[in-house]
Amino acid sequence: IDKDALDAQVKERKIQEAAEKAEHERFAHHMKKNDKLMCLLEERQKNEVRDINRALTEFHKNFQRPETRREFDLNDPQALKKDRPARVSDDDPRCTISGMQKFVGEDLNHDQRMKFQKEQIREWSLQQQKDLKNALADQKLADDLYDKFRIELDRKIMEEQRKEEESRRAVCTATKNFNKIQVAELDHKNELEKAQKMKDDMYEITCLLRGDFLSENPDQAIGPGGVLVDRWKGMNQEQLMAIREFQKEQVLEK
């Protein structure tokens, strides 16, 4: 067996397999690239078709509307609603005598007149509500002003009463202090008068006690004309002893 030949064949086989593998990978890469490109082209085509359809729709909507066609009045579903009636109002010039569209006593403006009257009543009601709201607001403002005035007046009255009470209290305090002073002065005066009276009474008592009448001074009973009977208090012990001695002498002489 030729080993070198076999090794050469194996080497060539590996080189061939590597080349085939590289070719397959390159082909797969191209396939992926082509697939991606096809997807982008398809997406682009879809967007273009969608934009074209949108543009066509907008064009039909803006420039090819059904009401712009000549035959639209034949197929208009709102034709009866858009059609003018045979008579619009009492002043419609189409209402001729022979047309028999206008009769005496009819009131075609009834709905409009009723609508106008309802609107007028609604405006009157809104105006009355507005006037009532304004009146209530004015009344509330007047009540608030009156309450503030009453509060301020009550505060002033309370302040005046407080001042009057303080003045009355001050007058009462001054009167009380004056009365206390007067009472103290009167008490002091009474004490002085009482002390003076007691002093005078003591002086008088002392004078009386030291006087001739209460001390029974015998000299007071002797006046210019002799003994004063109303002041005579009787004889003293010496006089009585002298009389007794004189009586004894008289008895002895007999």
pLDDT score recorded for residue 77: 83
More confident residue, 199 or 6: 199
User: Number of folded domains in the chain?
Assistant: 1
Residue 9 belongs to some domain of the structure: yes
pLDDT score recorded for residue 217: 63
Amino acid at 33: K
Residue 29 belongs to some domain of the structure: yes
Give Cα 67 to chain centroid, integer Å: 67
Strand partners, 226: 223
Residue 129 belongs to some domain of the structure: no
Q: Is 44's pLDDT higher than 60? A: yes
Parent domain of 55 = 1-66
> Quick check: 207 and 201 in contact, CB under 8 A?
no
pLDDT band at 19 (very low <50, low <70, confident <90, very high): confident
Residue 94 belongs to some domain of the structure: no
Residue 223 belongs to some domain of the structure: no
Tens-place pLDDT, residues 48-105: 999 999 998 888 888 878 777 777 778 888 877 887 777 777 677 777 777 777 777 7
**Percent of the chain with pLDDT strictly greater than 70:** 85
* Of the candidate ranges 76-90, 158-172, 177-191, 218-232, the one whose mean pLDDT is the lowest: 218-232
pLDDT score recorded for residue 45: 92
Q: What are phi and psi of 227, to 5 degrees?
A: -80, 135
Residue 131 belongs to some domain of the structure: no
Residue 36 belongs to some domain of the structure: yes
Residue 229 belongs to some domain of the structure: no
Cβ burial, residue 221 (10 Å; 0-12/13-18/19+): middle
Q: Model pTM?
A: 0.31
